Amino acid sequence: MAVCIAVIAKENYPLYIRSVPTQGELKFHYTVHTSLDVVEEKISGVGKALADQRELYLGLLYPTEDYKVYGYMTNSKVKFVIVVDSSNTSLRDNEIRSMFRKLHNSFTDVMCNPFYNPGDPIQSKAFDSIVSTMMVQAF
Amino acid sequence: MESLTLSDVEQKYYSELFLFCDVDNTKKVASNGKVLDLFRAAQLSNEVVHQITELCGATRLGHFGRSQFYIALKLIALAQSGLPLRVESLNSVRDLPLPRFVMGKNEQEMRHVVMFADTENQGPYLPRPPGRVQAKKVSAHEMIQPCVPTVDPQPDTTSPVVSPHQSPPTSPHAWRKHKRQASGGNVDRQPSVPGVVWPPFREAQPGPVTGDGMWSAHSPPPVQESWVSFTDTPPSCTLPMHPPSAQPESTTVRTVPSAMTTNEIQRQTSGYDDPWKITDEQRQYYINQFKTIQADLTGLIPGSAAKEFFTKSKLPILELSHIWELSDFDKDGALTLDEFCAAFHLVVARKNGYDLPEKLPESLMPKLIDLDDSAGVPEPDPEVGFSASPVEVTPNKSPSMPSLNQNWPELNQSNEQWETFSERSSSSQTLTQFDSNIAPADPDTAIVHPVPIRMTPSKIHMQEMELKRTGSDHTHPTSPLMAKPPELSEETKLAAAIKFPGTTVGDGYSSSDSFTSDQEPISSAVNRQRSHSGTSPEGLKVVAPPPPPPRPNASHSRSSSLDMNRNFAAVPAGPQQPGVVAFPPAVPPRPLPTQTSVPHGHRSVEGDGLPAITSTSPQQMPEQPNFADFSQFQVFAVDQPADDGEKPSDSGQVERCAETTGTMRTAKNDVQAEERNATTVNSAKVSTPLAPPPKPVRRRLKSEDELRPDVEDLPQKSTVIATVLATQPSIPRSIGKDKKAIQASIRRNKETNTVLARLNSELQQQLKDLLEERISLEVQLEQLRPFSHL
C-alpha cells in the first residue's frame, strides 16, 4: 500500500500527485521531487542501450528511515513514483511492479482519452480510483 | 428532550424522512450519511446544521434517534423560514412550513426547483385529484409530497425524501444548437430519457413555483416531450411524466390528471429502474449522428473526431473527458456505434442536468450479456435518473437495483446490438485472464503425438515402428496404448508362451503387418516386440532343439545374413548335402577347398595314382555340384593349395602353392605330377601361352572340365581360377622361363581378376534374388501370422 503516488511528466513537472493526507503532503512532494534526481541517475547509467531494452521498472530509488521510494519510467519519459511506508510489511518487488503496471495501464487509458491534452493535470476519475485502490486505506 | 408536537402532515413527513434516513432500520440514524446529506440539502449553512444537531440533542447522543430527528427537521424548517433557532420555538411556531430539502450534491442543486415541499407550493397540487402521484417531476425530489395528505405515498417506498435531483437543463440553448440539426420532426418523439422536461425550466430555474405551475398546468402524457427539441416546446413539456427524478421508488409522484393510470405509474416507477435506457428513437438519432461522422456503422470514430463532435455540446472538457472514460468501453481511443450512442446519451443526460454516473450504466454498456447488479443502476443519491420511456412496460415495481436485471432482457432486445461481445471483455485484465484460461492442459484430452503408421511393410520401417512402439508405450499417454498396459502384460506373457518358434524374425515382420491394421494389432505388435525381445533369449534356449529353417541367430531379429549364416553353417556339411539351394558356392565356402583339400589331398595320397585323384574329383563333382569348383581346387590344392576364390592373391597363391607343393612333393610325386599335369592342363585351358610342361596337366583339367558339362558357370569359373592358380606353381619350376612365366602369370592373374569380378557380379545378382524371395516369404508369413495370434 502506497503512501504517496505521483506521476511526473517528461519535463519533470507533476501531472498527478496524491498522498495519504494524514502525513503532511508537503513532505511527500519534496520526497518525490528529490527522487527525480535518482531517476535521472539511474537512466543515465543505462545509457548506451538507450531506449530499447531499458527496463521500465527502476526499482528502489532510495530508502529513508521512514519509507522507500520506487520509480518507474515509461518510454515517453513519464515517471511514476511510489512512496511506500517502511513500517509496512515490506512489499515484495513483484507487488510494486504490479502496482506500476496498473498505474501504467490506467495512465494509458487517460492518454487515450481525446479530451485529455498531454501535459494537463490528470483529472480522470478512473485514474483516481485506481490510485485509491493502491493507497493505504487511510480514511 | 423537549416535547414535540407535530401536525399530522409534519408527522407523516418526518416519519417518511426518518425512514428514508434509517436505511439500516435500526431506528436510529447515525449523524453521518444520509442525515447529514439531508440536512445539507436543506440548503442551510453548515453552522446552522451544526447548531441544529446540537439543539436536537444528537450531538449529545451521538446519533439521531427518531425524536432527535424530528426535532432537527423542525429546526430546519425554522431555519428555512428564517426564524431563529430556538428550542422553544419548536412548538410555538404553528404555521411552520415543512422543511425543504434540495437533494442535490453539486451546483445543479441550485437549479433545482425543489421546493415543492412548501405548503404554498402544494397548493397547486392540492386541487389535483388525489390518487396517483407522478414521481417523475424533476423538481420533485423530495417528497415533499407528504403535504398532500390525500396522495398516497409511493406504492413501495419508504424513503420518499430523496429523489435524485435532476437539474433542469443547464444550457438548453446550447443543446438546441447541438440538436437542432436533427430536431426537425422530433417534437413527436418520445421524450424518454432526459425528461427533457426542461424547457419550462429554462426560464424557471429561479422559480420552482412557476415550474410547478407549469407542470400543474400541463399534464400531458409523459411521452410527448421531445427530448431533442426540448428547447422549443415548452408548453408541451410533459414534465410530469418524465421527471427524471428517477427515484427508484418513484416517490416523488405527483398527482397527475387522471390520465395516468396505475400502469403508467408502474411503468414510470419501474421504468425508472433503468433511467439510462436508450429508446429507439434516440438510438436512431444517435445512429444518424454516427453516420455523419463515420459512414460505416461497424467502423470506429477516432477520438479526435469524437472530441470535436462532443465539444459542440458545450459541456466542460472535464465532463466530456469523464463521459469519454465511461463510454469508451474497450479503451481503444475510438468509439464504436454502441460506445458512441452511450456517449451521446450521457451528453444528453448531462445537458439535461443529470449527473454523470460513476460507472457506465448497464443499459449503456455495449452488448452486455452478464449483468452486474451493482453496475450502473442509479443509486438514490448521486444518480440522475432518466425516467425510462413510458413505453417500456416493466412490471417490476421494486426500486431496487436487481430489478434492472429483470428488465434487462427486455431492454436488451430493444437495443440494437452492434457490438460484439469482445467489447465487453476487452479490458486488459480480463483479456489476460481469458488468455490464461483458454488452454488449460487437460490430460484427458491430451493431444496425442501423431505416430506415423506405415501402411506398407518395409524392413527398416518395421524396425523403426517397433522401436517407436516400445518407446511410445513408455512415454505416451495415448489412451489406446495406455489402456492396453494390462493387456500388454498379458499379451506378453501369452506371447512368450506362444511365440517361441520363429520369434524374432517373425515378430518383426508381423509387426509390420499389424501396422496396416488398427491399433490393437499394433499393441500386440508391441507385445510381440517386447515378448520377443524379452523372450528371445529364452526362446532361443528353448527353441534350440527345433530348428526351423528360417531361423536367424539369436541376436538378430531381422538378419540379412540369414541365408548367409545358413550358407556358412551348411557349408561345412555342404559337400554332403546335395539338395542345397543354389548358393554361390564359390565365395562362401572359401575355406572349404582348403579344408576339403587336405582330406582330399590325404585321400588322394591314399588313393594312389592320378586316376584315383581324378576319379575322386569327378566323384566329388556329382556329389557336390556346387562345389565342383572346389574339387578342382582340391585337386590342385594338393600341390597348390587353392586359395579361396574370393581373394586370390598371387603371392599368397604362389606361396600356398609352393608350400603345398613343397609338402606334398615328397609324398606325392606321382600325384603331384598328375596334379601338375592337371594344373597345367587347366592353365593351358585358360591361357594358351602357358609353359609346355604344364600343358598336359592343363589338358587334363580341361578334360575334367569337359567331364563336367553340367557344372555351373561358377564352377567353371572357379575352375578357370583354379587353372590360373594352377599355372603358378610352374613358375618356380621353369626358372629358365621366368620372364615368360611371370608375364603369363600376370596375364593369368588379370584374367582371374576379371573372372572373379564377373563372379562377384553374378553373386550379387543371386543375392538380390534371394533377398526378394525372402521378402516374399516374409510377407506370406505376416499374412499367416495374424491368424495365429487372433
Tell if the CB–CB gap between B333 and A105 is shorter than 8 Å.
Answer: no
Return d(Cα B194, Cα B245) in angstroms, integer.
10
> Rounded to an integer, what is the distance from CA A112 to the centroid of its chain?
19
Intra-chain end-to-end CA distance of chain B, in Å: 103
The answer to whether B356 faces chain A, any CB pair under 8 Å, is no
The answer to whether A109 faces chain B, any CB pair under 8 Å, is yes
Return d(Cα B447, Cα B107) in angstroms, integer.
64
Considering only CB atoms, B321 lies closest to which of A105, A108, A116, namely A116
pLDDT in tens, B534-543: 444 444 444 4
Say what the pLDDT of residue B744 is. 93
Length of chain A: 139
pLDDT at A101 over 80: yes
Mean pLDDT of B630-634: 51
The answer to whether B177 faces chain A, any CB pair under 8 Å, is no
Please list the alpha-helical segments (H only) found in chain A.
Answer: 25-46, 93-112, 125-134
Work out the minimum CA distance from A98 to partner chain B, whole angstroms: 12
B766 — pLDDT class (breaks 50, 70, 90): very high
List C-alpha distances in Å: B629 to B521, B567, B623, B723: 49, 17, 12, 11
Tell if the CB–CB gap between B324 and A115 is shorter than 8 Å.
Answer: yes
The answer to whether A90 faces chain B, any CB pair under 8 Å, is no
ipTM summary value? 0.83
Considering only CB atoms, A123 lies closest to which of B307, B318, B324, namely B318
Instruction: Flag the least confident range among A43-52, B598-607, B697-706.
Output: B598-607
Pick B544 or B512 by higher pLDDT.
B544
pLDDT in tens, B447-462: 666 666 666 655 555 5
Considering only CB atoms, B303 lies closest to which of A108, A112, A124, namely A112
CA-based nearest residue to B243, from B232, B231, B233, B256: B256
The grid coordinates of residue B687 equal 591361357
pLDDT in tens, B542-587: 445 665 666 555 555 554 555 555 555 544 444 444 444 444 444 5
The answer to whether A116 faces chain B, any CB pair under 8 Å, is yes
Mean pLDDT of chain B: 57
Give which of B32, B310, B330, B331 to mutate to test A binding, by max A Cβ within 10 Å: B331
Strand ranges inside B139-198, DSSP E: none
The answer to whether B333 faces chain A, any CB pair under 8 Å, is yes
The grid coordinates of residue B663 equal 609338402
The grid coordinates of residue A36 equal 527525480
Q: Using CB atoms within 10 Å of the CB of residue B362, give its burial: 0 to 12 exposed, 13 to 18 middle, 19+ buried.
A: buried
The answer to whether A113 faces chain B, any CB pair under 8 Å, is yes
Q: Which residues of chain A make contact with B310, given a CB cutoff of 8 A? A: 115
Return d(Cα B284, Cα B232) in angstroms, integer.
21
Helix, strand, coil share of chain B (percent; to 5): 60, 0, 40
Considering only CB atoms, A113 lies closest to which of B302, B321, B358, namely B321
The answer to whether A112 faces chain B, any CB pair under 8 Å, is yes
Tell if the CB–CB gap between B333 and A112 is shorter than 8 Å.
Answer: yes
Tell if the CB–CB gap between B358 and A125 is shorter than 8 Å.
Answer: yes
* Phi, psi for residue B628 in degrees, rounded to 5: -60, -35
* Phi, psi for residue B398 in degrees, rounded to 5: -65, 135
Q: What is the pTM for the complete model shown?
A: 0.34
The grid coordinates of residue B710 equal 553340367
Range with the largest mean pLDDT of B2-6, B148-152, B683-687:
B2-6
How many cross-chain Cβ pairs, A to B, lie less than 8 Å apart?
38
pLDDT at B745 over 90: yes
H/E run at residue B301:
strand B301-302
CB B276 within 8 A of CB B168: no
Tell if the CB–CB gap between A126 and B325 is shorter than 8 Å.
Answer: yes
CB B161 within 8 A of CB B249: no
The grid coordinates of residue B775 equal 521378402
H/E run at residue B497:
helix B485-498
The grid coordinates of residue B47 equal 453552522
Say what the pLDDT of residue B105 is. 41
pLDDT at A133 over 60: yes
pLDDT in tens, A40-99: 888 887 665 555 567 788 888 888 877 889 999 998 889 999 988 877 666 788 888 988
Considering only CB atoms, B317 lies closest to which of A105, A109, A115, namely A115
Say what the pLDDT of residue B788 is. 61
Considering only CB atoms, B325 lies closest to which of A105, A108, A113, namely A113
Tell if the CB–CB gap between B321 and A123 is shorter than 8 Å.
Answer: yes
Return d(Cα B307, Cα B299) in angstroms, integer.
17
Say what the pLDDT of residue B368 is. 47
Q: Which residues of chain A make contact with B304, given a CB cutoff of 8 A? A: 114
